[in-house]
Structure 1
Amino acid sequence: MIKRIFLALVLALVSLSFAFARADFDSLYSAGKLNLAGAEGAPAVIPGPEKAPGVIEVIKTLPLLDLMAERTVSSKELTVGATVFLASVVLDDDWEVYFQLKQKGSSANPGVWKETAFKEGVTYKFAGGEVQIIEKDGVINVTGPGAGAETSTAELFDLLYAKSTSIECGGLVTYAVIRNFTPLTGNEGTITLRMGSDGLYYYSLTPDAQVAGYPRWLSAVNGVLYGLKATDTDLVFVSKVIPPDAKPLVQMERVIKF
């Protein structure tokens, strides 16, 4: 009888110990403190959150005065006789392309024409004389006393793209940034010019008045919007992660073919 009681007590103690061990094992496993069969626990360093959708961040700030000064650098110098002129292109409020010519170093207003006017020829009068401008087979000739000079709309766009400040968006799109004063109305704005994979130039015009408070979005690259806004002194390029289910509107562009 005593042996039977002793064996029963031993079996009870063994069962109780196993139950406690199982309970402790289960609690450790459920808490994720054990790694079984090569399973990994939580990482030592938890990555920070990605940029929050909808938050506008500044990419680059460009002083307006610097962009205005670049207009001289990106123009084509044309020497006619003893006079040096600067030729360039500008856009009107409807994004139409105009040819612009001014005497280098002069504060006088430039001459501005649509290229179609050169088919018949025009005369530009300046302090010290006048020159004739005519276009034939895509070449714009400027002639006057002494030797003349020539250029083309294609060359002027090439200069704008090559010699203006550029901004890169998402590593895929690069814009040349060009200050613009519309002929006739004199409205200030910014031309953004890019070259497409087809080798053609695509451009848009953003008036300062339209982006004084909120950006205009130029493009969407890999889920991120890129755009610009203007202050009294600077042009500010910004980006924003596109929120889920959002349908962003980006600026339309126009292509130019020579």
Structure 2
Amino acid sequence: MHDHVLNFKADFDILGTDNTMELVTINPVTESYPWSDHPRNTMKLIRHEVATEDESRLNWDPNGQTQYRIVNKDKPNKYGEYRGYRILPSQGTIHLAINNSSNLGNAANWAYHDLQITKQKDTEPRSANPQNGEDVYEPLVNFDRFFDGESLDQEDLVLWFNLGMHHIPHTGDLPNTVFTTAHSAIQITPSNYFDRDQSRDTVNMVRLDYAPGKSILKTFGQAPQICPTDWEGGYY
């Protein structure tokens, strides 16, 4: 048995290069309210900013209770919320199951966490080198050396994330391993980035009727006309 772990680099620039990693975690609490005659079991949000590289090597929270957001604190939306993008696990994300691998040494230190954040540097273009296996204890690129305590507060951030699968062979793998179910993915989606639901713009439609020598344009939906077009030159 073995692990398949692939490392990806995502360089975020949310409304500029001054960004921060914000963790938003659902916390179960028991709360008493003036309008209730008994305590309520409910939940609240705990917000935490990843301040430095030393605390930026993360694993997905159990039960999906934490959202990982790259935000720009200097440019909130009109409601005062930090605009950014959230990163969430989607399908079968993993990191290396063993610790201090005797085979890998320091050649794949990027594989031990799901998410890792560093300050962008041109001298750190990738997490490994094809020749790392030549000397696993002193590889050409040792990913651990990227993490030297630098501040991540409103800096140009790079997210390193892993996808992959734990491969425990079974009889259905003989004679060829079937990978049709070997899916791994994350989601990167806007968070407070827009002031409204962007899908509302898709309700607008255009109907174009063709007739000899002319065309008839009809728009309907919420906007009077969503495809400004110069029709003076004839029809199309």
Q: TM-score range by the shorter chain?
A: under 0.3
Q: TM-score if structure 2 supplies the norm length?
A: 0.21
**Larger helix proportion of the pair:** 1
Q: TM-score if structure 1 supplies the norm length?
A: 0.20
The higher radius of gyration belongs to 1
Q: Which has the higher contact order (CA 8 A, sep 6+)?
A: 2
